[in-house]
Structure 1
Amino acid sequence: MANILLAWELGGGYGHLAPLRVLAAELKRRGHEIVYAVRDLAAAAEVLDPATGPILQAPLQMAAIHHPLRVQVSYASLLHNSGFDHAPHLAARLRAWAELLQRHRCDLLATDHAPSAVAAARGIGLPVLQFGTGFTVPPRRQPYPAFRPGLRVSDDVLRHNEQRVCDRIAGAFKQLGWAAPDSLQSLFGETARALCSYPELDHYGARSEPYLGLPDMAQGEPPEWPDGEGPRVFGYLRPGKSLAAVLAALQRLPARVLLRVGGIEAERLRSFERPGLRILDRAVQLRLAARECDAYVHYAAHGTTAEMLLAGKPGLLLPETVEQNLVALRATQLGAALTPPPKGEFNLSAALRQLLDDARLRNAATTFAARYAVQDRSQIVPRLADQALAAITRPPRAAPAGS
């Protein structure tokens, strides 16, 4: 029996919690002990099963970032703006993670986007499995590639950014009496890793590492579509600058719309409802919704976008973060999604009509679905659990210079 800490530190929403939930259930089924350390306890209460293990608050960066970077261009600048900018503050957070791991006598740390936890585990010599999307498990390349497709960033700039972060990590490790890494890649790239994605949806583009695929993380109630005729559109949105405009466009759309808006009470949005448009206040079983809808509207989170593409459904994607923009870019490159241009006007109503009428969008989505139709997704979580347990006895792997 192993003691395993499952950690989530960075990012929002439920996309980091659902993978923790299904992995924990499989590991618990095999007789192992689970502890969670999560960024958002309120969100965790909606997703995680406390019967699988105690759910604790993760050590987080609370102090203001020293000299935050206005534009993040790579994994190094993401780390800088996430608390890797100041050695004493970083050391305090790493110490807290190390104490958490040691107090629970952990044999393994498994993370979905928890770089501070990974650094602490490496500092005390604990095995690590990093799993998640291409964004949270960046390529084994030095320097890390830029993730701003429209911005030219030289390797010299990327190396400079990495060295600055690496110097802060070295300072924190020195305070804690740990051997400092000589690069970010030696710290984060030498752990066991699992990509729960597909080459076409990798934020950085396809790489040589194997892809497990998207686990079946179905949770919630079956979708109850509004009565009537017409195509079915599923919407999963969050509060943002475009929410009111999107709701108004869906209100005008001649379709049956089932809509979930996270982070806001459904009662506050009732004025947008109409016959044929229903706004939910509960989670919907996403895999069923993907199977039954004709199209979807979403903010381009990786998990939902992948689930819809696996069902062969085209989407209107409305990203608001770098990570979401990269997912939207990959889906539009497939020809299976529409997304607003970086600048200029965008007619939401016209885009929604095109989403339902353009056979090219549907064909591109069904092509993606057909490519992975033979994959047995019920085996993804057991394979992920196998990799987690193998990491306990796995020797560290040197990170190659390119991938």
Structure 2
Amino acid sequence: MNTVKAATVDAVTMNKNVELVPRALLIPFVLITCCFALWGFANDITNPMVAAFQKIFLTGAAEATWVQVAFYAGYGAMALPAALFIRRFSYKAGILVGLGLYATGGLLFVPASMVGEFYPFLLAYFVLTCGLSFLETTANPYVLSMGPVESATRRLNLAQAFNPIGSLIGMYTASQFILAKLDARGKSARELLSAQEFDAVKRADLEIVSHPYVMIGLVIAVMFVLIALMKMPNHKAPNTMDVTLKAIFYRLRNSKKYVEGVIAQVFYVGAQIMCWTFIIHYGTEVFTAQGMAEKDAQVLSQQYNIVAMIIFCVSRFVCTFLLKFIPPGMLLLTLAAGGMALSLGTILIGGVTGLYCLVAISACMSLMFPTIYGIALKGMTGDDAKFAAAGLIMAIVGGTFLPMLQASVIDGWSLEMLSPVQASFVLPFLCFVLIAIYGYRTVKIHDT
């Protein structure tokens, strides 16, 4: 035990003195870090769209959550092809393909809005997130390779710290340029409109929804040109092991630290999407109970979502600093325990205080994704790292079935002891339990 403690202290001391990003790689690192912010924008402008599409197309919570299913399915569908692509070509090529698909998905909102049906939007989201899957599968290991192995987890956490900045911009855009501009009538009022009146309102709302996606598509096109013209590093570690796909998958399957990391990532992403998607439902329930109109309650709830993202962003920088002194596994365990406690407050307390607990969960989630990622990939190089990264990005499919399950709880809950929205947050609580187990096993068994 003393030997383990001494090794941990030595590792922390060494991390404090290792260069984070070599000067020669600073500009490429900055450009790739910008991509982290860009996919953060896409993620968090989309979460509030579940509530928006529910009103625009007069659907239930479960049907509207197909937005999240289509969005996160792209991650699962494209992560492995992305790994095969960057294995054959390069990290830079993978980034460019990701940006190209991202821009295409954003621009597809134009024809989707013209058609005026729900499913073309799902296709646009799917194409967009195929691009995000390429970007994340490529950018995460690319950042890990841009400097010393000893500072790789800190370097990834620094890059990931800019992801919530993009998320904040996405949330603000959703709040001020979408939710606040939609027709003020709620579902019940829209159901009373004539077919012609309803169609006019729907088309106006869909045009409002589409504008930000089209604009971000144009921004991504500019980023594509910048990276295409920039000389980027092309790290190819020497392969000292069997590099056949069969051998790579065999090594990954037999790494308990990696396999458990993928499982933990599935439930982390699910918890994150559930907390950020249904904070609007939670807040709307709280504020309409106080007599507020539905649209005003949704806009105010999105403000709470923005506060949650600010907390998430600040906490990520703070926790990145703490990683200089606290081993990743111990920090992950501590954050997961905090998430469990705050989830219980969200479930059992309710009202505005329960909403405060839900907002505060973001402080605990802040460092989970990159920390799980860094723990699971520690020590991997070459093609093993590329395919391991793909597995961790495929884990983002937790954002498809878990929010859908939470929406089903909301639609089907009938017990009076808790409101349906409060009861649904049992699912994020269970996710944090599983993440805490991975943190504990990291500390006690995987020894990172």
The structure with higher relative contact order (CA 8 Å, sep 6+) is 2
Q: TM bucket by the smaller chain?
A: under 0.3
Relative to its length, the structure with more strand (as a share) is 1
When you count helix as a share of all residues, which structure comes out higher? Answer: 2
What TM-score, normalized by structure 1, do the two folds share? 0.25
